[in-house]
Amino acid sequence: MKTVIPSVPRTPLYIIIGTRGQFTKTAPLIRELDSRGIAYTLINTGQHTHSSYEIADIFGIRAGDHFVTNREQDIDKFSHAIFWFVKAFLAFMIRRRKF
């Protein structure tokens, strides 16, 4: 008797990265997904936009498909982190209302 596995729609895979450390730790997973041809969406929170491009280049991965915020400089002070959080939260709420 032949076993039939029902067709199940694939759940989209989202990877959310924001910091330099997360890029470094997640790079092997991203490379493996790319090598296996597994589709995913890479969301960059924009905390370290400048550095994420450099790190992505080093590891041979993309910096992001979508950016929550896109800063010219990396966040290196607490006040910058607060400003980034408010901006990211507002951007999220605005996008959420559109959908």
Whether 83 has a pLDDT exceeding 50, the answer reads yes
Return the pLDDT at 95. 67
Hey, which residues does 17 pair with through a beta bridge? 44
Q: Model's pTM, two decimal places?
A: 0.62
Whether 99 has a pLDDT exceeding 50, the answer reads no
Segment 21-77, tens digit of pLDDT:
888 899 999 999 999 999 999 988 877 777 788 888 999 999 888 887 665 665 566
CB 31 within 8 A of CB 59: yes
Burial of 42 (0-12, 13-18, 19+ CB in 10 A): buried
